[in-house]
Amino acid sequence: MRQQTEKRFANSLVMVSKGDDPYETTRELLQTFPLPVLKGRRVLIKPNAARVASPGQGVTAHPGVVAATIDLLKERGARRIVIGESCIFGVDPEEAFQVTGMKEIAEKRGMEVIDLDRSDPAELAVPKGRVIKKIKVPAILREFDFIISIPVMKTHMHTQVTLSIKNMKGLLWRREKARFHHLRYSEKVTRGHKELDMAISEMASILSPDLAIIDGTTGMEGMGPAYGRPKRTGMIVVGNHALSADAVASRLMGFDPERVPHLKLSAERGLGEIEPEKILIQPDDYLKWRMPFDPPPSELSIPFPDIVVHDEGSCSACLSTLLVFLQHYHSSLAGYRLEDERIHIGVGKNLKACPEGTILIGNCTHAIRERGIFIQGCPPVASQMLLSLDRACQTVSSLNKPRNL
């Protein structure tokens, strides 16, 4: 792990390739990429392996990409090579490593896959942090001197895209990841930015990979990072500066990095180049491979037309929970329609007005719980919300009850 310094950005190099086989495409690209000396290095590979998803779904990194990286590191004499991940809350790491294929490729090569959350925590200060002053990371990170981020090329409901910088959020220790979704600051601090975007760019100033290998072999568009559609592009993007690699990948996906808030904020913090003129990109005509991804929907009512979300001042933790809940249980909510035939959901600390009978999600809506069906939690647990909803319904006394009461 290394801290960003101005000197690093003098020579941002990003190389792009495209092919049918994830292993071969990655291997050929890495063999031509001018990597630093790896002999004797202790390398942590941080793929996106944070969920239980099989290869090729666009949710987690393809094991072929990771395997090609390991094989190259071995050839170049790396002393220690480890795959490490801190899975999202509620995911069994053993199951995730098995299903994503990480365990198999590691075992075949006689190396470790480690659950980073089993390490003790260590605290790092965030210089000039506006929304995060320090972060907790697994102390075991100290044992490595070279970190490789291998994200999947995906859109993201809260951050527009998720690439190699955002993937480093998986190096935060246990629930520290969730803290990023709960940050609440005044306009004076945020100046119109979302706290999550600011936190990611501040994290990037101290938790930056030494090499980014972006797996676009099968990416994800729409409702990423977990509920979108797989997008097969065959592309691999490698960069010696994560922010520049993300900027190039973002362009290939059809997004202007100047309009991706966490990339723009990172560039404004001096963490690297996102302007194509300032990055050496090979091949020159890389944009011939541009494949626009469908953006994430700006409102949940787009993928769920019968849902009306009354959101006043929510944080992304509740919105993520709501998305997961709707993805799994939307079809069970028909009985909660109000007179306008729609299901109203309220969320956020500033919510004052919503129709009676609204499903109120999260402790922030406790003050107006009399207006609807209140589900407690900060955020509530998506898998338990339907049960909470049924229980809470039994106590609703409003005249404007959902029709199943």
Q: Which CB, 234 or 377, lies closer to ligand SF4?
A: 377
Q: Which of residues 84 and 362 has its CB atom nearest to ligand SF4 in the complex?
A: 362
Residue 352, both tokens = 């004052």
Closest C-alpha among 128, 129, 134, 93 to residue 112: 93
Q: Residue holding tokens 């590191």? A: 73
Residue 341, phi then psi, degrees to nearest 5: 70, 15
Min dist. Cβ of residue 188 to ligand SF4 (A): 19
Among 318, 345, 373, 375, binds ligand SF4 (CB under 6 A): 318
CB 183 within 8 A of CB 194: no
Closest CB to ligand SF4 among residues 57, 327: 327
- Sole residue written with tokens 């955002």: 166
Q: Choose one: 43-51, 133-141, 277-285, 347-355; the region binding ligand SF4 (CB under 6 A).
A: 347-355
Least distance from ligand SF4 to the Cβ atom of residue 183, Å:
9
Distance, in Å, from the CA atom of 104 to the CA atom of 291, rounded to the nearest integer, reads 31
**Residues in 278-317 that interact with ligand SF4 by CB under 6 A:** 314-315, 317
In whole angstroms, the minimum distance from the beta carbon of 323 to ligand SF4 comes to 13
Among 225, 239, 379, 402, binds ligand SF4 (CB under 6 A): 379
Candidate list 216, 348, 372, 402; residue touching ligand SF4; CB under 6 A: 348
For ligand SF4, the binding residues in 174-193 under the rule CB under 6 A are: 182
Indicate the residue among 64 and 348 with the shorter CB distance to ligand SF4.
348
Residue 349 interacts with ligand SF4 (CB under 6 A): yes or no:
yes
C-alpha–C-alpha distance, residues 16 and 247, integer Å: 12
Nearby residues of 324 by Cβ (< 8 Å), 6 or more positions away: 226, 227, 382
Q: Does 364 bind ligand SF4 (CB under 6 A)?
A: yes
Q: Which is nearer to ligand SF4, 209 or 348 (CB)?
A: 348
DSSP per residue, 12-48: -EEEEEE-S-HHHHHHHHHHHS-----TT-EEEEEES
DSSP count for the chain of H helices, then E strands: 12, 16
Residues of this chain, 28-67, that bind ligand SF4 according to CB under 6 A: none
Q: Does 153 bind ligand SF4 (CB under 6 A)?
A: no
Reference 329, options 307, 296, 302; nearest CA is 307
Minimum CB distance to ligand SF4, residue 320 (Å) = 9
Q: How many residues interact with ligand SF4 (rule CB under 6 A)? A: 13
Q: Characterize the bridge pairing of strands 211-221 and 146-150.
A: parallel
Please say which residue, 291 or 381, places its beta carbon nearer to ligand SF4.
Answer: 381
Burial (Cβ within 10 Å: 0-12, 13-18, ≥19) of residue 32: exposed
Among the listed residues 84, 272, 296, 362, the single contact to ligand SF4 using CB under 6 A:
362
Q: Whole-angstrom Cα distance, residue 170 to residue 355?
A: 39
Whichever of 59 and 361 has its CB closer to ligand SF4, that residue is 361
Residue 141: half-sphere exposure toward Cβ, Cα within 13 Å: 26
Nearer CB in complex with ligand SF4: 126/364: 364
- Range in contact with ligand SF4 (rule: CB under 6 A) among 3-11, 122-130, 256-264, 361-369: 361-369
How far apart are CB 121 and ligand SF4 at their closest, in Å? 22
- Piece of 5-13, 211-219, 284-292, 342-350 that binds ligand SF4 (CB under 6 A): 342-350
By CB neighbour count within 10 A (0-12 exposed, 13-18 middle, 19+ buried), where does 20 fall?
exposed
Closest-approach residue to ligand SF4 (CB): 362
Instruction: Specify the DSSP class assigned to residue 226.
Output: T
Closer of 17 and 314 to ligand SF4 (Cβ): 314
CB-based burial, 144-178: b 16+ in 10 Å, e otherwise = bebbbbbbbbbbbbbbbbbbbbbbbbbbbbbebbe
Q: Which is nearer to ligand SF4, 68 or 300 (CB)?
A: 300
Identity of the residue, 248 or 347, whose beta carbon is nearer to ligand SF4 in the bound complex: 347
Nearest distance, CB of residue 364 and ligand SF4, angstroms: 3
Binding positions for ligand SF4, rule: CB under 6 A = 182, 314-315, 317-318, 347-349, 362-364, 378-379
